[in-house]
Amino acid sequence: MDELVVSTEVYADPEEVYAFLLDFPQYANYSEYLREVTTVSGDGGPGTQYALTFAWWKISYTARSEVTGVEPPERIDWEITKDIDAGGCWRVTPPEIGDGVDDPEDPSDADPNGNAPCEVALEVEFDPGSASSDALDLPRLVSFDWVLKKAIPLIRSEAERVVERAVQDLEGSTRDVDLDVYVDSNRI
């Protein structure tokens, strides 16, 4: 399995961050290649299913995902349910006691409004070898292997873009978002 983790700090209440991330249909607002997220069934909790429509180059594909577990306000687990072995989670880590507003004597980690940062992370695991070549209707003379070779490196930039834009919406302002990126893959 290839693994990618993109994390950063966000100056917002962990419960607010969690509720924001639980709203999967909004993710199309943050991604260059994700065109639409439609709720197929459910209310956002375990068992909720989504159709995620991606478009890149001359290719369009609708993935199916399912929320597999939630631990409010700290974790949302999901998996892709067809055509590839993939899944991941959103993780929200509340600020430690003593940071920002919890310790008025040490506001060094707080933003100008006194909000202490929590950490938000998008974790993704996938097995490119499990991808089904039957899932795509490819143009003539285009091989599935070529598509994988070109598309897999885009996963990292898309994950970074989603996290960065979500943070900016959560904070209600634009700032340079420092991302920590962990990659366990020679493809991304």
Q: What is the DSSP letter of 52?
A: E
Ranges of each domain in the chain:
2-33+70-184
Are 104 and 136 a contacting pair, CB within 8 Å?
no
Could you tell me how many residues make up the chain?
188
Burial of 90 from C-beta contacts in 10 A (0-12 / 13-18 / 19+) = buried
The pTM of the full predicted model, rounded to 2 decimals, is 0.88
Closest CA to 82 of 66, 58, 70, 69: 66
Q: What is the pLDDT of residues 66-121, one digit of tens each?
A: 999 999 999 999 999 999 999 999 999 999 765 444 454 455 556 666 678 999 99
Task: Please give the CATH topology (third level) of the domain spanning 2-33+70-184.
Answer: Alpha-D-Glucose-1,6-Bisphosphate; Chain A, domain 4 (3.30.530)
Closest CA to 119 of 21, 24, 17, 4: 17
Q: What is the pLDDT of residues 144-168, one digit of tens each?
A: 888 888 888 889 999 999 999 999 9
Place of tokens 């366990």: 184
Q: What is the pLDDT of residues 174-188, one digit of tens each?
A: 889 999 999 998 888
Are 65 and 41 a contacting pair, CB within 8 Å?
no
Residues 6 or more apart from 117 whose CB is under 8 A from it?
Answer: 9, 10, 11, 95, 99, 100, 109, 110, 111
